[in-house]
């Protein structure tokens, strides 16, 4: 069978690049047989599957001034300092985001998706990857985007779920369970070049380094990798970069389009190991 599944990774505003990638593949006639997403990739996967292909429309439906303030806070490191100072269970109240997701997806359920859809979250207590294939789309997206400490965890399936990036930043395994030919889209920032200035920054960088290593292992299982590779770091909530990352996603997809087309044409039986 022709086509590919996509594994869309997390990255905050950089996740809008996924919609640019998908636009290029659609224009090229690549059949999309499955979409797996984590965090921002979960939002992009669900939005595309249910026909919301305009990144500005998706953004306006969900995010409000409170979330926009995150970009003006400077970075997640600055937010972490606010979190410690205020001693709140979460920095952001997600009521507005929840309302936006409900307005965007309505009563749609994951199992009703026109394209097979798998959204990845993580169990806050065990760190286990939790792949959501059934239930309300809005709640699955909310769980997959729930950055620990920043957004409150989401109670679902008898678990407390948080951002899927905690378990696997690019959900390649979830995509392979949908369809065996996988294109992974990694929208990560480049690794930092400067040493940490504070103990808090060092702790945050250590967590990022661990996720980077797990991501590298996951990407080895993909057949084609499209990396956003931004020319400079783009903060998670720098929504002023939306158009830039969308166009960069399109550009990176066009660069790898010959490989994606070749993979899409590959017969499934040719992927099986020979005896």
Residue 163 among the catalytic residues:
yes
Structure tokens that stand for 237 in this block: 């909530």
Using CA atoms, how far apart are residues 182 and 141, in angstroms rounded to an integer? 21
Tokens of 121: 């979250």
Query: Which residue in the list 113, 144, 163, 223 is annotated as catalytic?
Result: 163
What is the H or E stretch that residue 224 is in?
A: strand 224-227
- Residue that is written with structure tokens 């290029």 in the block: 24
Q: Do 5 and 182 meet the contact criterion of CB atoms below 8 Å apart?
A: yes
Torsion of CA 245, 177, 52, 71, to 10 degrees: -40
CA 158 – CA 140 distance, rounded (Å) = 13
Q: Cβ(126)–Cβ(164) under 8 Å? A: no
**b/e burial code for range 22-33 (CB count within 10 A of at least 16 → b):** bbbbeeeebebb
Contact 122, 128 (CB under 8 A): yes
Q: Rounded CA gap, 131 and 72, in Å?
A: 33
64 catalytic? Reply is no
- Which one from 38, 39, 113, 188 is the annotated catalytic residue? 39
Q: Phi and psi of 202, rounded to 5°?
A: -60, -40
Catalytic residue list: 39, 163
């Amino acid at each position: 069978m022709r086509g590919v599944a996509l594994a869309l990774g997390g990255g905050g505003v950089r996740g809008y690049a996924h919609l640019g990638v998908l636009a290029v593949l659609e224009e090229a006639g690549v059949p999309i047989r499955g979409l797996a997403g984590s965090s921002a990739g979960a939002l992009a996967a669900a939005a595309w599957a249910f026909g919301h292909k305009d990144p500005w429309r998706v953004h306006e439906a969900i995010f409000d001034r409170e979330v926009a303030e995150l970009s003006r806070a400077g970075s997640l490191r600055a937010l972490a300092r606010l979190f410690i100072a205020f001693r709140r269970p979460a920095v952001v109240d997600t009521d507005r985001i929840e309302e936006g997701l409900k307005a965007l997806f309505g009563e749609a359920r994951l199992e009703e998706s026109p394209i097979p859809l798998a959204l990845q979250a993580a169990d806050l207590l065990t760190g286990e990857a939790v792949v959501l294939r059934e239930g309300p789309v809005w709640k699955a997206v909310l769980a997959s985007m729930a950055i620990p400490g920043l957004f409150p965890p989401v109670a679902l399936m008898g678990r407390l779920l948080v951002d899927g990036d905690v378990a696997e930043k690019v959900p390649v395994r979830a995509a392979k369970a949908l369809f065996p030919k996988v294109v992974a889209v990694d929208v990560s920032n480049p690794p930092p070049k400067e040493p940490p200035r504070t103990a808090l920054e060092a702790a945050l960088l250590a967590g990022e380094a661990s996720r980077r290593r797990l991501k590298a292992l996951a990407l080895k299982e993909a057949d084609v990798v499209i990396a956003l590779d931004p020319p400079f770091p783009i903060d998670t909530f720098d929504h002023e970069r939306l158009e830039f990352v969308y166009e960069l996603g399109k550009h990176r997809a066009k660069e790898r389009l010959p490989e994606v087309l070749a993979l899409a044409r590959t017969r499934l039986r040719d992927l099986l190991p020979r005896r």
